Structure 1
């Protein structure tokens, strides 16, 4: 298959072959235990410190200090690693961004992702790794002479599965050793805690502010999707100090004064309610940079949809991908997404048997497998082996919450970003292990009541709480 590099952002391949066998991956760097193949468009930073070399693909920031640049951050990580892996991992918890990090030393060459693999990594046989499933599939075909089979349906990025048999996604809470050809779990490293709301706010609030400063110093335009839900309201509250740089947008169906809400289907009811709530937010908070994008105004060409479908590993919203490709300016801009806040709301029962766990996550599986209990159980058991999932139990963490983090966000959501990343990059305010660790440690009562997120809005733009999320009501209606 001929690959279109335009649809492959930051492409790379890690293999033991001196040739990438992929036409546009024409440059390479030889590391101690693997070879890094990249293209002219791959954005990466290369650091040498004594006998340590670090390659960073993508962008990174330290949430503790927004003034640090890549050189500062990677030097600190390298010095920490020279002391011990534990010290390195302590610092690594504070790293946000969308990146892949390769650390090579005389002892080993290690591969890490950001906290949710937002810059995805795919692997074949625990030996070959790439930025894109399609690149890895083509490499295996050309270099190894093996034609990998596809599943007969879209796997929906369930667990660590891709649409290609034998190619798996990289779990963000694992690291990979090229010397040992094996994975190792790097989170959790401590026992689960049950933390009060006040403690979590105290330990995370300052790090939200440093990230807003970092965004302000690095970008001229910050695109923020605004909906009638609560999560986008949290992001909106946090960017209040730099609101003039924020360009909110809402993708929408067209409604008029004759539209009868009660006659709409459930799907369009969601959009109708979004329309009403977003209008209230735009008008009352003077969001002068807001824009609506109506699906009916953007008919994506068949060739665009076909090419995108062949190059990415998800099938979420190709229509939105086309809108963003047509309307967004990548120059000095970034897309601020409001995902991951769900981790401050999830409140699963604590169970330790596979059947109960699978029952809580099976709705994320492909529709074709919903009635296939035995197949799903076998898939889950194989996943657990590959990802050392049983180690999570040893630290007392809720397994379903960790699965949501590691595969729902670390495989499903991370691959969605590929649908738009060739137009604009993505940022998420809590995409670091330190903050996620605090959020998932909230007690169940505060999770169910969304206490942390409500407090974040209250502390940053309290009037936003006047409009009730996903409702036509306001606070006055609830009195």
Structure 2
């Protein structure tokens, strides 16, 4: 194995003897605890009035991206002087990838970021807490630890690690190391109800401050760019620093892949190429190395660090491409799934949840086929997470954050830690609450992120999501569809409406704007001259509804009592009283073949003036069947 990439961004908190073979920094904490940590980690601490706070990893306040770390930690101490609730409220505004160590009143509590980007593993029987389960095993002594899981799928929705008695701290719970006890601190109340505009305004403020922090940090930001909507959202958020941002897209050898996989990667490349070329982004494509081209010692070390099989060869390539510089990989994953609600549509309307319903909807992650065993597993997870009350939160989303992210996403991040640090732009509890308070049906349709893109960098909506279509191709296609609809409507008119007239000359028919204008051809109109439009309903089902629009154009009061409109669905009225457009809905079963729907236009006075021909014309169009 390669020691230089063993336990990247690692830390160890213990009261046991530890030979510091990795030359990590050391920091003493109350209760004879010692914190060892890789110098790649940021670290700040402060003590006063029997309160000691240390924070490992990068962090910032989403209310003020320019606020220094020392100022933030001072605010946390002041909040503790008032109440624990105020302290928890303050850390809800923190984003980043961090571990907070709080010593107070003889207790030593651990808190980490909302999605668990900073992994925390602890032993159930020994005073050992660390960044990696294998590091806990190393410190405890491999002879005292048994590996019981060998595949990520075996623990894909749990708090377990690959080792017996070594567990992961799930997000939004604090671990007290002296008593080895857990306590949930979020959520403890309903999330506030806010309007969509309030939510978006607040989100944009927090994201703007997030970008300020990225700009002032020592990291070089790098964004993985795909043809999907999530990375498009991240790109829109990062627009203010776009000239400092590097982007990349990895490709796979799809020669032996399915047609669907080939199409997916080809589309990704086409979409990304168009975005990059038109926006002049700093970008690179690279193809993931094959097994023959990777360093086996690098792969072996990654496997020692984490139990994950997302993309070991990809992590090897990350290491070669980006491992020599302080890159911050901005991922469009994890909490982005909360922003668009990833569960089945059938769950949207559920108001009363129970264990059976929840278990059914997380089975795709628990992978437990037996229904009763799956329910029992879910019940155990709820008890471990102390989720006896989920307030107005959706329990599926709480469980996703608690158990899915610390396994799947933690593994993905853990693989790439050998190359760079990781950031999620949405990684704070306040931002999580804002997303969860957005109407769930609209999140399910991805409207929240689409609206953010429209507000932050609307040109990005020019490109379709996961499709090579764009606004130009859609416009051209819409124009073609409009022409096709016009032809369909024209055919409908010819088949549905049968015109007749008392005059010897046929009516004039002019196609106009998805409809037809009917009028007399001969302007020599006699008293009681009329024309009738009869609607042919044969060929329709009884339950069909024929929808269309009529429009009459005459509105001069001097013409009252000159022309009458008679209809078995409009009634009998003076032409003046029917001026304008009317939307008509005719239920087929309400009419018989012997008495079909009709409209009759009747003149009461003789005239030879062309204006009266125009006065009695009628437009009928916009046909549809529902």
TM-score, scaled relative to structure 2: 0.69
How far residue 157 of structure 1 moved from its aligned partner, in angstroms, is 3.7
Q: State the alpha-carbon separation in 2 of the partners of residues 75 and 410 from structure 1.
A: 29
For 1:415, the equivalent position in structure 2 comes to 411
Matched, 1:324 2:324: no
Q: State the alpha-carbon separation in 1 of the partners of residues 359 and 149 from structure 2.
A: 21
> What is the DSSP-based 3-state SS (H/G/I as helix, E as strand, rest coil) of the residue aligned with 2:18?
coil
For 2:432, the equivalent position in structure 1 comes to 436
How far residue 115 of structure 1 moved from its aligned partner, in angstroms, is 1.2
Q: State the alpha-carbon separation in 2 of the partners of residues 26 and 216 from structure 1.
A: 28
Q: 1:220 to 1:119 in 2, by over 3 A?
A: closer
Q: 1:22 to 1:355 in 2, by over 3 A?
A: farther
For 1:137, the equivalent position in structure 2 comes to 137
1:406 to 402, 413, 418: 402
Matched, 1:426 2:422: yes
Q: 1:217 to 1:397 in 2, by over 3 A?
A: same
5+ residue gaps, structure 1: none
> What is the DSSP-based 3-state SS (H/G/I as helix, E as strand, rest coil) of the residue aligned with 1:290?
strand
> What is the DSSP-based 3-state SS (H/G/I as helix, E as strand, rest coil) of the residue aligned with 1:184?
strand
When structure 1 is superposed on structure 2, of 271-280 and 177-186 the one drifting more is 177-186
How far residue 321 of structure 1 moved from its aligned partner, in angstroms, is 0.6
Q: 1:469 to 1:156 in 2, by over 3 A?
A: farther
Superposition pairs of residues 192-207 of structure 1, within 5 angstroms: 192-207=191-206
For 2:181, the equivalent position in structure 1 comes to 182
When structure 1 is superposed on structure 2, of 60-69 and 338-347 the one drifting more is 338-347
Matched, 1:283 2:281: no
Q: State the alpha-carbon separation in 1 of the partners of residues 124 and 226 from structure 2.
A: 41
How far residue 99 of structure 1 moved from its aligned partner, in angstroms, is 0.6
For 1:346, the equivalent position in structure 2 comes to 341
Q: State the alpha-carbon separation in 2 of the partners of residues 220 and 180 from structure 1.
A: 37
For 1:59, the equivalent position in structure 2 comes to 58
For 1:472, the equivalent position in structure 2 comes to 468
How far residue 27 of structure 1 moved from its aligned partner, in angstroms, is 5.8
Aligned residues: 464
For 1:230, the equivalent position in structure 2 comes to 229
Matched, 1:459 2:444: no
For 1:361, the equivalent position in structure 2 comes to 362
Q: 1:462 to 1:114 in 2, by over 3 A?
A: same
For 1:270, the equivalent position in structure 2 comes to 264
Q: State the alpha-carbon separation in 1 of the partners of residues 442 and 9 from structure 2.
A: 39
- Cα offsets for 1:353-400 (capped at 9, x unmatched): 2222122122123xxx443444433332322222112232xx131100
Bigger strand share: 2
- Cα offsets for 1:321-357 (capped at 9, x unmatched): 1111011155343111112222111165235222221
Q: State the alpha-carbon separation in 1 of the partners of residues 136 and 99 from structure 2.
A: 16
Check whether the contact 1:195–1:443 (CA below 8 A) recurs between aligned residues.
no
> What is the DSSP-based 3-state SS (H/G/I as helix, E as strand, rest coil) of the residue aligned with 2:449?
helix
1:397 to 390, 393, 398: 393
Q: State the alpha-carbon separation in 2 of the partners of residues 39 and 169 from structure 1.
A: 18
What RMSD over aligned residues (CA atoms) do the two structures have, in Å? 2.5
Q: State the alpha-carbon separation in 2 of the partners of residues 378 and 141 from structure 1.
A: 33
Higher relative contact order, chain-length normalized (CA < 8 Å, sep 6+): 1
2:381 to 368, 380, 383: 383
Q: Which has the larger radius of gyration?
A: 2
How far residue 292 of structure 1 moved from its aligned partner, in angstroms, is 0.2
Q: State the alpha-carbon separation in 1 of the partners of residues 413 and 242 from structure 2.
A: 24
5+ residue gaps, structure 2: 479-626
For 2:149, the equivalent position in structure 1 comes to 151
> What is the DSSP-based 3-state SS (H/G/I as helix, E as strand, rest coil) of the residue aligned with 1:164?
coil
